[in-house]
Structure 1
Amino acid sequence: MDLPPLQETETPYGRFTEGSAERRGGFDLRLQPYVTTTDEDGSIVYEEEDFPLLWTIIRRDDTRALEQYLVTAQWAIPRAPAIPVGLQEYSADLDYFLFAAQRGALGVLQMLLAHGTESNDPHPSTEIRFKDRGYELLNVAARWGHFDMVKFLLENQPLYADLHGRDPKGFTPITSAADFYSTRFLVAPFPGGVSSIRNEAVINLLLDRGACACDVVLPTGGREKSPDTLLTLAVRWAGPELLKTLIERGADIHAKVIKSKWGLRFWNETGETFEADALFIACTVANFNAVETLIDYSGVDAIEIIHSRDSRGSLPIHWATQNALADGSGQCSAWLLRERVQNITSIIGHLLDLDPTTINAQDNSGNTPLHYATRAIGRHDELYSPVLKLLCDRGGDSSIRNNKGQTPLHTLFKRDGIEPRYETTDEYAPVIDTSAIFTLLAHGANATDVDDDGNTPLHYVAEILHYANAVSVLLDSGADPTRRNLNQETALHRAARGHYRSMHWRITAEERIEAQEDMMQRGSVHDNCVKKSGMRGESVTFQRRKEHWVDQMAVEEVEKVEKVEEVEEVEVVEVVEEGRVEA
């Protein structure tokens, strides 16, 4: 049985009635002289300091209340062309034109603009712009996918908008609409949330009205090249139909844009910026449909395009495996990682199907796709393991070293301080999934490998106090806790200054000390056992685990082959039964 709908216990503007001051401790915040309108029940409501009533009216897109409000507060809406400056006079925090545009409150925005442009001047302003406030109305409406508002503003050019106008960040209306990826995880300032469908509709509307498919975002901050084209913005989220439309209307697939290592959270850059095109961007955000579309419509041979390198010497497969959750928050939720991993593996599989020889390709830094995969967000989570397994199954060699002497087993644990902080989906109890370690050890990596700084993988993981299970695996595999790096540090030294990463603020001093002692004891006990047995290298325990792991992978491969054969047999039987195969 469905529950009855909840009844509102208060009218929309009940908090602004005359008696509301008494309910809030007797403080009368009403503006003097009074600015009023009426509630739905006819009661008089009063504006307060900082204009919260006007804010509420705009949020509700309530033209009835706004019309009455303006009768007693015409001064609240400055006359054009002083709208931007006038806003600062009354409240620097409340820009109600911007708020209305973000909310998609078309009725209220129309009324605000109409009121603000009323003038007795025989030569009124022909353009009302908000660039001095840091935005343009059409760009804001387009960014949030408000189709009807965009249409209204386009129909009122040049008074309120310009189809080709740029905001202070260098965006035009159409590039603003294409910048959906940067808003997809934000709390939308309107009911229902953001929608790629709405943004796509806005882009098509702008194209039909004359916007350019080869538009770019102008560089800022002293840069000489554009940080984005319309296409590089769209490939982050758009589907094949929109991308085909843009390409057919002139978007350049091969146009290079400038990207920042900090913006993409890449970890191995020596310079601050580098160049890349739309295919690289599509790979790094794991938009499989975009990758397919760009390769199909590139105008060149598929092998040639997947062998194209960026200014770092990286191939598209490097970008796909270096994939980051580029929402800027560093969050690593389970549902997002699960979705992202599925797309990453699809892209990797597609690129390797086109050319399997790229599996161990090295870029200018010596990194292979496996190196990048072991540095991706979520890499220590069980949900991420299919990426590493796919790369290794397709020939990935985890013994290859980069220019710093690091194997993928080193980079699995090493941090340079630039990646988002979450490596697992459980922020409160992050424990590494050891299958990643076993996968790398089974495909060439060795726990005793030393990089150019003299560090073994154990040096890096010993610092992470909640990864004691990983320490045990490495010790079982022959890692030496007493081996010193170039700074004369052992893994035990690293453990002594270990930390809980993102959990440090929730951990007491006693808990940290206990974890440090546990980590150091594991190393000490293991070292004593090795000395007594006279054994170095892989322990019996690890040898058994490794053999089991290799056997398990072999069984999985056999099962895959058997499934394929079963499917083929069923297909043949079905064909015979349908009479399509002659005896």
Structure 2
Amino acid sequence: MAYTKFHHPQPDFEKPIFCDIDGSSLYEAPYGSLLTSIIQRNDVTALYSYNNSPNSRLFLQSYDSERQDPFSVALGCRSFDVLRALISIYISDPSMTEPLQTYTNRCGLSLIHRTCSAGEQDMVEWLINHEPPLGSLHDRDPTGMGWTPLLYAAEALGIAGDLILDADVEEAPAIARKKAILGQAIPYASYGMVSRLITKESDVHTPQTWSSQNTGIELGQNVTPLHIASLFWNLDGIQALIDHRGDVGLEFMASKADDDGRLPLHWAFTCIRDNREEKDNLDEIISRMTSTMRILLDAKPDTINTRDHHGSTVFHYAARLNLMGHEVLSRAIQKLLDALPSLDTLNVRNHRGATAVGDMLQPFTSPAGTLEQIMGPILTLLANGADAHLCDNKGRNVLHRLCMSTWKQPLTAGILGRLLEFVDINDTDVDGRTALDYLVSKPNRIDAAHYLRTRAADATGSY
């Protein structure tokens, strides 16, 4: 797998870690981002290369809120191959004198409890059968409420494979929460599993609290199982919810908002880091994403224009899909435009004052692909009615936003020229700045500044 985002060193991270598949050096980034990417991709080969580098540290003595321990990241991403490798590396590392379970408990997690919570039977059995064993089904959770792994598995799936989940008597009150089990199981549950949970009195429509890491939405209140299934593009789970919805109309389900005003459609475009086996099959990912969108929009077509409580439309949410690659975003934008959104929807600003186009012109949402590729969906929106002059509440147009940001790639004449089809080269923002004003303050943009001057650009000096 390629890690092109990490081919260039950042300040304080100048030492190469190992080489990418094309021979380029890879560098760590703030918050352990390279390691996190390796774990999210379940890339065991890269993990060992990272561990073998003299310029990296796989395990730290402590972690802050900005960087998690690798075991938690692997569990959160369901990267169980990497989790096995992490365990083996830790146990075989003579410098790690602290027992593994002591280390993980100090980091705030129990491997056996979290794995049961994920309903991952193979991993549970691997931990139990490990020599020495790394947990049992009757251990009390030292980091939570003292529950056993059995109860976590019961909450997650009702049943985990062939494991019989008999909770202790004193745990019976917790099992009364079984109506929320469906929401916990549905990210990856099959049609049969969802149907069975509903048969066991899990409510298709029961709202609950959602809390998860590495999913794009870390916290949500009044969340339905359809929200969660849409977030994970679980088509089998969604179909089971539809088939067992009872007397509630699908239109109502699709228009049910959480406490932040987010519909299932918004959740479907929240840049989930997909963790299924086919996660590297781009066509499969795009197919599930667009199929989820089509189900939700067919149920309630006018939700294409719905804004959440922060003023964001589904196009604002879709802007984050660039993190998964420009092709994912391009296909998503085209499918959303096929739903015939209003021009107001394409041009509304969210609570940050940005339109969807403005959000797409942020380097932190656009690390994947070349700048030419990133511009593709932006130009598509502009051609379909998005106003190139309304990127943010500072009066900046698309050219201002492009020129003011720090991009790793050059601003070519081709890119600049295409944007000039939509805006005037000497438009000023509320601070009186032109696009050239932003460029001349960046020494590495001499070529782009020269091109704008050849097109009769003026600099006002307001920088």
Q: Match of 1:291?
A: 238
Alignment of 1:53-68 (within 5 A): none
Shift, 1:92, TM fit = 4.7
Q: Is the 8 A contact 2:290 2:332 kept in 1?
A: yes
Q: 1:252 to 1:523 in 2, by over 3 A?
A: farther
The one-letter code sitting in structure 1 at the alignment partner of 2:237 is A
Shift, 1:348, TM fit = 0.8
Q: Match of 2:196?
A: 245
Within 1, Cα distance between the matches of 2:319 and 2:243? 29
Deviations 1:95-120 (A, max 9, x none): 4x789xxxxxxxxxxxxxxxxxxxxx
Q: Match of 1:139?
A: 113
Q: 1:318 to 1:131 in 2, by over 3 A?
A: closer
Q: Match of 2:428?
A: 484
The one-letter code sitting in structure 2 at the alignment partner of 1:287 is N
Q: 1:347 to 1:178 in 2, by over 3 A?
A: farther
The one-letter code sitting in structure 2 at the alignment partner of 1:479 is V
Q: Match of 2:300?
A: 355
Q: SS of the residue aligned with 1:374?
A: helix
Q: Match of 2:394?
A: 453
Shift, 1:166, TM fit = 4.1
More off after superposition, 385-394 vs 248-257: 248-257
Within 2, Cα distance between the matches of 1:217 and 1:338? 41
Q: Match of 2:223?
A: 276
Q: Is the 8 A contact 2:271 2:324 kept in 1?
A: no
RMSD: 4.6
Q: Match of 2:321?
A: 376
Within 2, Cα distance between the matches of 1:493 and 1:361? 37
Note if 1:521 corresponds to 2:462.
no
Within 2, Cα distance between the matches of 1:238 and 1:385? 28
The one-letter code sitting in structure 2 at the alignment partner of 1:468 is L
Within 1, Cα distance between the matches of 2:273 and 2:206? 23
Q: Is the 8 A contact 1:172 1:217 kept in 2?
A: no
Q: 1:174 to 1:338 in 2, by over 3 A?
A: farther
Q: 1:168 aligned to 132, 143, 146, which one?
A: 143
Alignment of 1:298-447 (within 5 A): 298-299=245-246, 300-325=248-273, 335=280, 337-378=282-323, 381-397=326-342, 399-403=346-350, 406-414=354-362, 423-424=367-368, 426=369, 431-447=372-388
Within 2, Cα distance between the matches of 1:254 and 1:213? 23
Identical-residue share of aligned pairs (%): 22
Q: Is the 8 A contact 1:313 1:363 kept in 2?
A: yes
Within 2, Cα distance between the matches of 1:141 and 1:441? 46
Within 1, Cα distance between the matches of 2:379 and 2:88? 55
Shift, 1:401, TM fit = 0.8
Task: Kindly name which structure, 1 or 2, has the bigger radius of gyration based on alpha carbons.
Answer: 1
Within 2, Cα distance between the matches of 1:213 and 1:316? 32
Shift, 1:215, TM fit = 6.3
Deviations 1:275-313 (A, max 9, x none): 423221221222222222223323321111111011111
Q: Match of 1:495?
A: 439
Q: Is the 8 A contact 2:398 2:419 kept in 1?
A: no
Within 2, Cα distance between the matches of 1:410 and 1:133? 38
Q: How many residues align?
A: 349
Q: Is the 8 A contact 1:381 1:423 kept in 2?
A: no
Q: Is the 8 A contact 1:370 1:388 kept in 2?
A: yes
Shift, 1:346, TM fit = 0.4
Unaligned runs of 5+ in 2: 1-84, 90-94, 130-134, 459-463
Q: Match of 1:94?
A: 99
Within 1, Cα distance between the matches of 2:173 and 2:237? 17
Q: Is the 8 A contact 2:290 2:335 kept in 1?
A: yes
